[in-house]
Structure 1
Amino acid sequence: MQTIALVGNPNSGKTTLFNVLTGSNQHVGNWPGVTVEKKEGSFKHKGAVYNVVDLPGTYSLGAYSEDELVARDFIVKGKPDVVINVVDATNIERNLYLTTQLLEMGANVIVALNMMDEAELKKIKISTEALSEALGVPVISTIAARKKGIGELIESTVEVISQKPKQIVFTYGNEIDNEILNLRDLLKEESLPYPTGWMALKLLESDPEMMSIVDGMNTVKEHLHTLKSNNVDYELDIVDKRYAYVNGITKRCVEKPAEEIVTTTDKIDKVLTSRLFGLPIFGLIMYLVFQLTFVIGSDFLGGYVETAIEYFGVVVEGLLVSLGSPDWLVSFVIEGFIGGVGAVLVFVPLIMVLYFFLAILEDTGYMARAAYIMDGVMRAVGLHGKTFISMIVGFGCNVPGIMATRTLENKKDRMIAILINPFMSCGARLPIYLVFIAAFFPNNGGLVLFLIYALGIAMALLMAKIFSKTLFKGESSHFIMELPPYRLPSPSSVVRDMWEKVWDFIKRAGTVIFAVVALLWVLSVLPVGVEPYSQESILGRIGTFIAPLFAPAGFGTWQASVSLFAGIAAKEAVVAVLGMVYAGVSEGSELVAAIQGSFTTLSAVSFLVMTLLYTPCAAVIATVKKETNSYKWAAFMVIYPFVLAWVLAVIVYQIGSLMGF
């Protein structure tokens, strides 16, 4: 099977092209040894199957972030048969900088000149024939969002695969070219993971990875040391030469209007990203999203899943009884499995609706504006707007949110972003919020959910400020980010993004949550002879032992205590365990009634604060260990959110009690 790699700048339409090429034949995993997301898919053409690898979006192929390392290592070491370089036709100068680096590496390149429709709106004219001749590689015009040019791109790609990569010779001036030759000669005798010519070039750019590779090569180190001692630094000269090469090409191949065209995107951004209106509009949009989530997900769709689970429980119980199943098995299936997992699944409609609206905001290009809008706020706490992107990703799941911090080049920014990301309310916490909102705030669900998310963001910013002044002092890096044009959301893209997150939630309910519930069910019915789900059971005794810790926060019951304990395995387990310990409740209405009888409005608010902020799930802790390569920071992530959550929950409850709530 031949392999095609997709490479391009962020927001160039690379992922859209990947989805068009592969359709539903795609899967997501991690690159070997790292947690950067790996997307692979395949398509058939004339009976042959082609494997497509979507590499992380990157502006260059340096070694300053793991995304860059993953992309370039796959191209050089993975040796794909062809590299499709997706280039944004509206920002061709910046995009072609990456193209020059691909050509330097000797990759078999074909350029997909994407978003040609948007270039036409800006009255940008590009001669693909002249561009192809100048670069020495095929250039195909595409509009991936409309599936235009895809057939021609596939035909050209298949044709390029059968050819050897063209040897395109770059010149960086006599002095630099001679130094490349000198280093190539010194590297010839060594066993190297990369081509010597390309390594020589990267060494002159002071590439961190290349410098570490030659650390034990004395002759190479001495030569580089001599250059440094003579105050010779070629890094900026090489960058300048690349841009000069790109500028020369664009002058010959690209024609732009004398005056820049003011697009619809520009007009909208004058309002949505303005200093005066940007933040209030962002808040209003998110508030509307939460309100619509409740109106559609709860009022309109909410009852169907609950009715289905209730009916399923009745059918299964009848079947088990008719088969003469022992009481313990009936109890486990009905009260443990259906009562626990079912209590989580009843909230699938709300989660589906929320992810649907967030996917629309992402697909239109608005979420990139959210990061830009938040730049001023982020700088006030010692970070920059790009950090907010990883926080937004954390709304889906904190694991990819933490992984998204890899795009941050500054170590200080990255460490702070990792430590505050768990305060972003992931989808797993939603069932907890929703069941308590249904119990105590049914008429103000959207507002309460909005306030919970806002509190999470506020606490993240507060801790970021504290960390930037204490644990991670130093300057934050510059914020450079491209704002993509506004686009009509693609129905297929929105549905795919929504379904991926919902399906992940359902899988966790059927695996992790089931495992947790099964273990806790056993503890809730032992020792033999005690009343199941009672305080005398092993589970009840564990909860009773923990409960005094939470008494000052107003929810010092053994049921609440064991549910929070289970939530460290997976946050969905909090609701699953509450559903189980309240005598196998599986229907949402019954669980709501049970919670109303065990909490007051004030203790419910305190409990929500606790679940928002306390120790993240085991998967997040493991990811922190991988990303920081430190057990110390993983342990820190276990302890500090718990302490912070407990303190705030106690403050909320105690002050509320003093005020008579």
Structure 2
Amino acid sequence: MDMKIALAGNPNCGKTTLFNDLTGSNQYVGNWPGVTVEKKEGRLKGRKDIVIQDLPGIYSLSPYTLEEVVARNYLVKEKPDAILNIVDGTNIERNLYLTTQLIELGLPVVVAVNMMDLVRRNGDQIDARKLSDALGCQVVEISALKGEGGVEAAELAAKMAQQKRAAELPHVFTGSVEHAIAHIEESIQGMVDDRYLRWYAVKVFERDEKVLADLNLSTDLRAHLEDHIVDCEKELDDDAESIITNQRYAYINDLVTKAVKKKGEKHRLSTSDKIDQIVTNRILALPIFAVVMFAVYWIAMGPFGTFLTDWTNDVLGTAWLVEIPRAALEGWGVNEVVVGLICDGALAGVGAVLGFVPQMLVLFLMLAILEDIGYMARIAFIMDRIFRKFGLSGKSFIPMLVGTGCGVPGVMASRTIENERDRRMTVMTTCFIPCGAKMPIIGLIAGALFGGSGLVAASAYFIGVAAIVISGIILKKTKMFAGDPAPFVMELPAYHIPSVGNVLRATWERGWSFIKRAGTVILASSIILWFLQGFGWENGAFGLVEDMNNSVLAAIGSAVAFIFVPLGFGNWRATVAVVTGLIAKENVVATFGVLYNFAGELSENGDEIWALVAQDYTAISAYSFMIFNLLCAPCFAAMGAIKREMNNAKWTAFAIGYMCVFAYVVSLIVYQIGGLITGEVSFGIGTVVAVVLVVGIVYLLFRKNKYEDERLTIRSVDAAGRRAALK
């Protein structure tokens, strides 16, 4: 039977590095059931019977964030055989808070003090024996980055699990607190597994409603225990949760004083602190950040990335993957429908997936390097001051930044945001930023109707940012997203040279996740689109059509084109282009090339059909068309990423629906009011609706937020309310 060892520790304590060192390639990545928090597990190298479960990085087992809920539920309900607690030796005081909670679970615990190479380099000393004696469990020294001591720590945890040796409970709590907790333990004994008795007692003392619901205490027993808790609160003149927290830190402070010796001045600046004085400086932070991001995107999206993408699209994706099989199938006399299905449907779909991959892998590689160095955490810190004003977290900036290259990794990057409401809002708004695939649309409209003006491209990004800001303000005033953005609590890890293994593994995991998830969506949608635009009624019969005007897609476009009449582009060509743009946004220009019967090879921005497009659109209607395609639902690949990150069909539908409605409203306002100003639209019902919508948006922006008291610290507010009621 497999033995399960759970890795638990604070964010940036080296847990992922240790996990990679312990498991190597024997690991599996997925999502925890029902949530989007990443789940990693693997087999210990050389021990196929030992499963290492990597828990999310957490600061405590109090359920404030989704990661803490996942970790807590796993430890209490899944019952691992042992816990390997990774502690950052350079910041041991803060890390030991979680350790005290883990020991209370009553499971075998091994504490692995990590980054000992840095501790020794700093001239500090940590007495593992004293820590072990005080904590009542085994304490070992390791350096995950250098591969020292990790495997031995895991094998020690496995040995303790075999012996069922739980940690002895340290004397964390004193006086009336210990008396109250002991009384609770006695009262609930027999209701839970004895291993978890102390942990449940502490949680009852803290009035953890989830634990109280799990225990299903009788009314009399709950009132009896409440009396003891209230007596303790009165004696110590504080609320229960604060009392527990204070005693933990008092115990940890005493423990560190005895077991840890720091060299030099207590408040001396480390090398990382000195770098941060420049990198996170209020004035220099943004310019430095701009330079770093420019370098990242120049490498990923510049000549090198473009060369890789062009080669993949033109050579691998088209010449090799599509045309060679097409020539072979035609040479064998295969039916043209089968050839079309295989080559234009399935293989072209695969080629579309591959076309995204090179630039994305380079971008993932650059971001993984920045993340491993420790700079990504600084970016979120820098941007938090700005984004908080619009109801978003500083961590929301990273997905939006990545989204300028491609919406898929942008959406995937939202998983770094702990608070579920903030993460969902970020997923809903990230794709408003014009990605690389939308640039051909901008180039087509700017070239055909605006003489190639660079202001059109600039305005596209301005509109994307404005859409995010407006959405953030409006959505934060709704019940679904109410409350302050998640408090910005993030460990700023020490700068260090990136690990080649960690960087390559992170790049591959993200890239492969995109290929699996987005690839299946693109492949399926490509086959469907091939059928819709290739088949229809022609010469009185249904079958392959020579003229796309007779296709099923054209019929569908004609049937629904009336929806876009108020937006200024209510013709079937524009409608079909919008639909094909859902496959990939660059398809919009390619579709126009087909619909305007251009026989040659079309350039990226469609220069060859500018004159034809200009005949069917005015400047304001073309601009409206551009805005709608920039803001509406993204490509199928990004939709697949949204589904993955939302992990809920209703939320996915809501996100896509919100983007489409928002795009429609903005485009309608632009065309109706802009057309009225230019004289191409006469005053009518459409204009009235546009004015009403403008007034409605202004009202939603400036109305009082009736949910402004719904804060993320609602547990403390509830606690205060309960105390007031008891008095």
- TM bin, normalised by shorter chain, reads 0.7 to 0.9
Do the aligned residues in 2 keep the contact of 1:30 with 1:38 (CA within 8 Å)?
Answer: yes
Give 3-state SS (helix, strand or coil) of 1:362's partner. helix
Give 3-state SS (helix, strand or coil) of 1:18's partner. helix
Question: Aligned residue pairs: how many?
Answer: 643
Larger Rg: 2
Report what 1:240 is aligned to.
246
Matched, 1:459 2:467: yes
Give 3-state SS (helix, strand or coil) of 2:7's partner. strand
- Give distance in 1, aligned partners of 2:467 and 2:485: 20
Give 3-state SS (helix, strand or coil) of 2:18's partner. helix
Mean Cα deviation higher: 509-518 or 57-66: 509-518
The verdict on how the C-alpha distance between 1:273 and 1:593 changes in structure 2, with shifts beyond 3 A counting, is closer
Report what 1:597 is aligned to.
609
Mean Cα deviation higher: 644-653 or 161-170: 644-653
Percent of aligned positions that are identical: 38
- Give distance in 1, aligned partners of 2:477 and 2:560: 34
- Give distance in 2, aligned partners of 1:577 and 1:260: 59
The verdict on how the C-alpha distance between 1:447 and 1:136 changes in structure 2, with shifts beyond 3 A counting, is farther
- Give distance in 2, aligned partners of 1:114 and 1:450: 48
The verdict on how the C-alpha distance between 1:320 and 1:76 changes in structure 2, with shifts beyond 3 A counting, is same
- Give distance in 2, aligned partners of 1:400 and 1:224: 45
Pick the aligned partner of 1:283 from 264, 286, 290: 290
Matched, 1:499 2:517: no
Report what 1:7 is aligned to.
8
Once the two structures are superposed, the pairs formed by residues 151-166 of structure 1 within 5 Å of their partners are: 151-166=151-166
* CA offsets 1:249-269 (integer angstroms, 9 cap, x no match): 111111113243323322221
Do the aligned residues in 1 keep the contact of 2:593 with 2:609 (CA within 8 Å)?
Answer: no
Aligned-pair distance for 1:385? 3.4
Give 3-state SS (helix, strand or coil) of 1:511's partner. helix
Report what 1:31 is aligned to.
32
Once the two structures are superposed, the pairs formed by residues 524-539 of structure 1 within 5 Å of their partners are: 524=533, 525-527=535-537, 528-529=542-543, 531-532=545-546, 534-539=548-553
Once the two structures are superposed, the pairs formed by residues 126-165 of structure 1 within 5 Å of their partners are: 126-165=126-165
Do the aligned residues in 2 keep the contact of 1:82 with 1:161 (CA within 8 Å)?
Answer: yes
Report what 2:265 is aligned to.
258
Do the aligned residues in 2 keep the contact of 1:108 with 1:160 (CA within 8 Å)?
Answer: yes
Mean Cα deviation higher: 513-522 or 6-15: 513-522
- Give distance in 2, aligned partners of 1:133 and 1:578: 70
Aligned-pair distance for 1:454? 7.5
Matched, 1:78 2:78: yes
Report what 1:295 is aligned to.
302
The verdict on how the C-alpha distance between 1:401 and 1:292 changes in structure 2, with shifts beyond 3 A counting, is closer
Give 3-state SS (helix, strand or coil) of 2:29's partner. strand
Aligned-pair distance for 1:271? 1.7
* CA offsets 1:24-73 (integer angstroms, 9 cap, x no match): 2212122234332211112332x544211110110001122231122122
- Give distance in 1, aligned partners of 2:399 and 2:318: 38
- Give distance in 2, aligned partners of 1:415 and 1:299: 36
The verdict on how the C-alpha distance between 1:386 and 1:326 changes in structure 2, with shifts beyond 3 A counting, is closer
Pick the aligned partner of 2:658 from 609, 629, 640: 640
1:52 alignment partner AA:
I
- Give distance in 1, aligned partners of 2:576 and 2:628: 14
Do the aligned residues in 1 keep the contact of 2:299 with 2:305 (CA within 8 Å)?
Answer: no
1:597 alignment partner AA:
I
Give 3-state SS (helix, strand or coil) of 1:503's partner. helix
Give 3-state SS (helix, strand or coil) of 1:85's partner. strand
Aligned-pair distance for 1:337? 2.8
Q: Which runs of 5+ in 1 are unaligned?
A: 409-413
Give 3-state SS (helix, strand or coil) of 1:195's partner. helix
Do the aligned residues in 1 keep the contact of 2:36 with 2:646 (CA within 8 Å)?
Answer: no
Give 3-state SS (helix, strand or coil) of 1:169's partner. coil
Once the two structures are superposed, the pairs formed by residues 359-438 of structure 1 within 5 Å of their partners are: 359-385=368-394, 388=397, 397=409, 400=412, 403-405=415-417, 407-408=418-419, 414-425=420-431, 430=435, 432-433=437-438, 436=441
Pick the aligned partner of 2:339 from 330, 333, 343: 330
Report the TM-score when normalising by structure 2: 0.77
Do the aligned residues in 1 keep the contact of 2:580 with 2:587 (CA within 8 Å)?
Answer: no
- Give distance in 2, aligned partners of 1:22 and 1:533: 57
Do the aligned residues in 2 keep the contact of 1:7 with 1:84 (CA within 8 Å)?
Answer: yes
- Give distance in 2, aligned partners of 1:287 and 1:451: 20
Aligned-pair distance for 1:606? 6.1
Give 3-state SS (helix, strand or coil) of 2:131's partner. helix
The verdict on how the C-alpha distance between 1:121 and 1:327 changes in structure 2, with shifts beyond 3 A counting, is same
* CA offsets 1:581-617 (integer angstroms, 9 cap, x no match): 96699xx975737686376797887666544432366
Aligned-pair distance for 1:298? 4.3
Give 3-state SS (helix, strand or coil) of 2:660's partner. helix
- Give distance in 1, aligned partners of 2:215 and 2:205: 12
Aligned-pair distance for 1:369? 0.6
Aligned-pair distance for 1:9? 0.3
Report the TM-score when normalising by structure 1: 0.84
2:309 alignment partner AA:
G
Report what 1:91 is aligned to.
91
The verdict on how the C-alpha distance between 1:566 and 1:500 changes in structure 2, with shifts beyond 3 A counting, is farther
Mean Cα deviation higher: 525-534 or 273-282: 525-534
The verdict on how the C-alpha distance between 1:562 and 1:131 changes in structure 2, with shifts beyond 3 A counting, is farther
The verdict on how the C-alpha distance between 1:354 and 1:129 changes in structure 2, with shifts beyond 3 A counting, is same
Matched, 1:173 2:183: no
Mean Cα deviation higher: 369-378 or 279-288: 279-288
The verdict on how the C-alpha distance between 1:3 and 1:276 changes in structure 2, with shifts beyond 3 A counting, is same
- Give distance in 2, aligned partners of 1:449 and 1:95: 48
Matched, 1:272 2:308: no
Report what 1:357 is aligned to.
366
Matched, 1:61 2:79: no
- Give distance in 2, aligned partners of 1:6 and 1:178: 32
- Give distance in 1, aligned partners of 2:358 and 2:432: 16
Give 3-state SS (helix, strand or coil) of 1:110's partner. strand
- Give distance in 1, aligned partners of 2:425 and 2:301: 30
Give 3-state SS (helix, strand or coil) of 2:61's partner. coil
Report what 2:494 is aligned to.
485
Give 3-state SS (helix, strand or coil) of 1:535's partner. helix
Do the aligned residues in 1 keep the contact of 2:432 with 2:464 (CA within 8 Å)?
Answer: no
- Give distance in 1, aligned partners of 2:585 and 2:668: 19
1:142 alignment partner AA:
I
1:329 alignment partner AA:
V
- Give distance in 1, aligned partners of 2:466 and 2:292: 17
Mean Cα deviation higher: 526-535 or 310-319: 526-535
- Give distance in 2, aligned partners of 1:346 and 1:431: 12
The verdict on how the C-alpha distance between 1:653 and 1:279 changes in structure 2, with shifts beyond 3 A counting, is farther
- Give distance in 2, aligned partners of 1:311 and 1:551: 40
Do the aligned residues in 2 keep the contact of 1:8 with 1:86 (CA within 8 Å)?
Answer: yes
- Give distance in 1, aligned partners of 2:462 and 2:141: 43
Aligned-pair distance for 1:341? 4.0
Mean Cα deviation higher: 235-244 or 341-350: 341-350
- Give distance in 1, aligned partners of 2:435 and 2:353: 10
- Give distance in 1, aligned partners of 2:17 and 2:660: 40
1:249 alignment partner AA:
L
- Give distance in 2, aligned partners of 1:235 and 1:112: 28
* CA offsets 1:471-508 (integer angstroms, 9 cap, x no match): 55555554322211122222222222222232233334
Give 3-state SS (helix, strand or coil) of 1:206's partner. coil
Give 3-state SS (helix, strand or coil) of 2:45's partner. strand
* CA offsets 1:531-581 (integer angstroms, 9 cap, x no match): 2561221111112334454467676664653464466xxx65445687689
Pick the aligned partner of 1:522 from 526, 531, 554: 531
- Give distance in 1, aligned partners of 2:249 and 2:576: 60
Give 3-state SS (helix, strand or coil) of 2:113's partner. strand
